[in-house]
Structure 1
Amino acid sequence: MIARFEELDWQLTPMGDLTLRRRFEPAASQEIYEVKLGDEYLMSSLFTVAEVALADLGLAAVTTEKIDVLVGGLGLGYTAVAALRDPRVTSLTVIDRLAAVIGWHERMLLPAASDLVTDARTSLVCDDFFAVMRAAPAPDHAGYDAILLDVDHSPRHQLDATHADLYTVNGLRALDRHLRPRGVFALWSDDPPDAEFMVKMRAVFDDCAAHVVEFDNPVTGGVSSNTVFVGVTRKR
Structure 2
Amino acid sequence: MGLRFEELDWQETPMGPISLRRRVEPSLRVDVYEVKLGEEFLMSSLFTVAEVELARLGLAETSGTGLDVLVGGLGLGYTAATTLEDSRVASLTVVEALPQVIDWHERRLLPDTAGLTADPRTRLVQGDFFALARGATGFGTGTPERFHAILLDVDHTPDHVLHPSHAHFYTAEGLRELQRYLQPGGVFALWSDDPPDDAFMAVLREVFPSGEAHLVSFPNPLTGGESSNSVYVAAS
CA distance in 2, matches of 1:28, 1:170: 45
Q: CA deviation at 1:115?
A: 1.7
Tell me if the contact between 1:69 and 1:147 (Cα under 8 Å) persists in the aligned partners. yes
SS at match of 1:108: coil
Secondary structure, counterpart of 2:69 in structure 1: strand
**What is residue 59 of structure 1 aligned with on the other side?**
59
Contact 1:137/1:178, CA 8 A, preserved across alignment: no
Distance 2:128 2:233 in 1: 22
Pairwise CA distance, 1:111: 1.6
What is the CA-CA distance between 1:137 and the residue it aligns to? 4.6
TM-score (norm: length of structure 1): 0.96
Q: Once the 2 structures are TM-superposed, how far is the Cα of residue 4 of structure 1 from its aligned partner?
A: 1.7
When structure 1 is superposed on structure 2, of 101-110 and 25-34 the one drifting more is 25-34
Gaps of at least 5 residues in structure 2 are none
In structure 2, the residue matched to 1:185 is 188
Contact 1:106/1:113 (8 A) holds in 2: no
Partner of residue 119, structure 1: 119
Q: Aligned AA for 2:88? A: R
- Give the Cα–Cα distance (whole angstroms) in 2 for the partners of residues 166 and 102 of structure 1: 23
- More moved, 128-137 vs 52-61: 128-137
Which amino acid letter does the alignment assign opposite residue 224 of structure 1? S
Write out aligned runs for 1:100-179 (5 A).
100-138=100-138, 141-179=144-182
Q: Which moved more, 1:57-66 or 1:80-89?
A: 57-66
Q: Which residue of 2 aligns with 1:195?
A: 198
Equivalents in 1 of 2:219, 2:169: separation in Å?
31
Q: How many angstroms apart in 1 are the aligned matches of 2:158 and 2:99?
A: 24
Matching of residue 207 in structure 1 with residue 216 in structure 2 = no
The residue aligned with 1:80 is: 80
SS of match in other structure, 1:117? coil
2:46 aligned partner: 46
SS in 2 for 1:115: coil
Q: Is the 8 A contact 1:189 1:227 kept in 2?
A: yes
2:174 partner SS: helix
CA distance in 1, matches of 2:177, 2:64: 22
Preserved CA contact (<8 Å) 1:35 1:44 = yes
Distance in 1 separating the partners of 2:167 and 2:93: 23
State how far apart, in whole Å, the 2-side matches of 1:71 and 1:97 are: 12
**Residue in 2 that maps onto 1:222:** 225
Equivalent pair of 2:66/2:89 in contact (CA under 8 Å): yes
Task: Measure the CA separation in 2 of the matches of 1:160 and 1:27.
Answer: 35
Task: Report the equivalent of 1:71.
Answer: 71
Query: How far does residue 113 in structure 1 lie from its aligned partner after superposition?
Result: 3.7
C-alpha distance after superposition, 1:39-72 (max 9, x if no partner):
1100000001000000000000011222100000
Alignment coverage as a number of residue pairs: 233
So what's the TM-score if we normalise by structure 2? 0.96
- Between the aligned partners of 2:4 and 2:58, the Cα distance in structure 1 is 36
Determine if contact 2:78/2:113 at 8 Å carries over to the other structure: no
Q: What is the CA RMSD across the aligned residues, in angstroms?
A: 1.4
Identity fraction in percent: 60
The runs of 5 or more residues in structure 1 that have no matched partner are: none
